[in-house]
Amino acid sequence: MCAIITGSASGLGAATATLLAGDGARLVINYASNREGAEATAERCRALGAEAVVVQGDVSRDEDCKRIVAAAAPWGRLDALVNNAGITKHVEHDKLDGLSAEDFQRIYATNTIGPYQMLRAARSLLEAGAKASGRAAAVVNVSSIAGLSGVGSSVAYVASKGALNSMTLSLARALAPLIRVNAVCPGYIDTPWFTKGRGAEGAKQVRDMVEAKAPLKIASSAEDIASVVCFLAGPRSSNMTGELVRVDAGFHL
């Protein structure tokens, strides 16, 4: 398995890299600013028998996407690209003055354009992976229930993930049969995400609310969601493309 995981210094990206790591896996660990976190992820992967290369890069910048992908070029192939990097701004949906055009553009640049640019840069290596393995290479876009149901940290975030979902459908159609493109749409994930946006107390409130309201009474861990990301990234999902897979412990019910 040769794979790139964007934003893998922390949270879901780090958990996904760790789960993909195994004897013979070759992984590109990407970070924007948290070098220490990325090195720690890489060390965990190496301890599991993987080869792990750490590359700094901001997925909203096309030249950085090309540099991230270049780290996989010596392998001559990619089996999976996990577009996990994401950002938000926490603003109540009815506070329309809380979001500027720049907020929308900044969030869209990372959450929507980033995955597009990463896929564009990685396309030829993914196609080479498909030809070498005899089955389609996998792109997994880490989206959110925000993009399905309109709930989430802000209207700009919801709009960026909605766009990522519809882009997943068009790219799945356009890039078959050599590349599969699916999205995972998590509900809550217990990562640094909410602590960054709402502080420790705010994050605990969200966690407690999810655990109380989700039918399965689970506030999903990064590993819980990573297992679905890895399923979509690997051969067990080889007949799936263009799927938006909700993973929210039944919260939507």
Please identify every residue annotated as catalytic: 157
Nearer to ligand NAI, 70 or 178 (CB): 70
Burial of 111 (0-12, 13-18, 19+ CB in 10 A): buried
Interface with ligand NAI includes 55 (CB under 6 A)?
no
Count other Cβ atoms within 10 Å, centred on residue 224: 17
Closest contact distance (angstroms) between CB of 60 and ligand NAI is 5
Interface with ligand NAI includes 32 (CB under 6 A)?
yes
Among 17, 21, 54, 87, binds ligand NAI (CB under 6 A): 87
Sheet holding 179-186, edge to edge: 51-56, 26-31, 2-5, 80-83, 137-142, 179-186, 244-247
Nearer to ligand NAI, 34 or 149 (CB): 34
Q: Identify any residues that bridge with 182 across adjacent strands, giving them in sequence order.
A: 140
> 214: closest CA among 253, 165, 174?
253
**Amino acid identity at 65:** C
Distances (CA, A) of 94 to 80, 150, 151, 199, 202: 38, 13, 12, 21, 19
CA distance 232 to 158: 22
Nearer to ligand NAI, 12 or 155 (CB): 12
CA distance 163 to 169: 10
Nearer to ligand NAI, 192 or 234 (CB): 192
Interface with ligand NAI includes 119 (CB under 6 A)?
no
**Amino acid identity at 27:** L
Region of 10-18, 72-80, 121-129, 237-245 interacting with ligand NAI (CB under 6 A):
10-18
Closest contact distance (angstroms) between CB of 214 and ligand NAI is 12
Among 1, 2, 3, 7, binds ligand NAI (CB under 6 A): 7
> 175 to 194, contacts with ligand NAI by CB under 6 A?
186, 188-189, 191-193
Interface with ligand NAI includes 29 (CB under 6 A)?
no
**Amino acid identity at 42:** A
Closest contact distance (angstroms) between CB of 74 and ligand NAI is 22
Nearer to ligand NAI, 6 or 18 (CB): 6
The binding site for ligand NAI (CB under 6 A) comprises: 6-7, 9-13, 30, 32, 34, 58-60, 84-87, 110, 114, 142, 144, 186, 188-189, 191-193
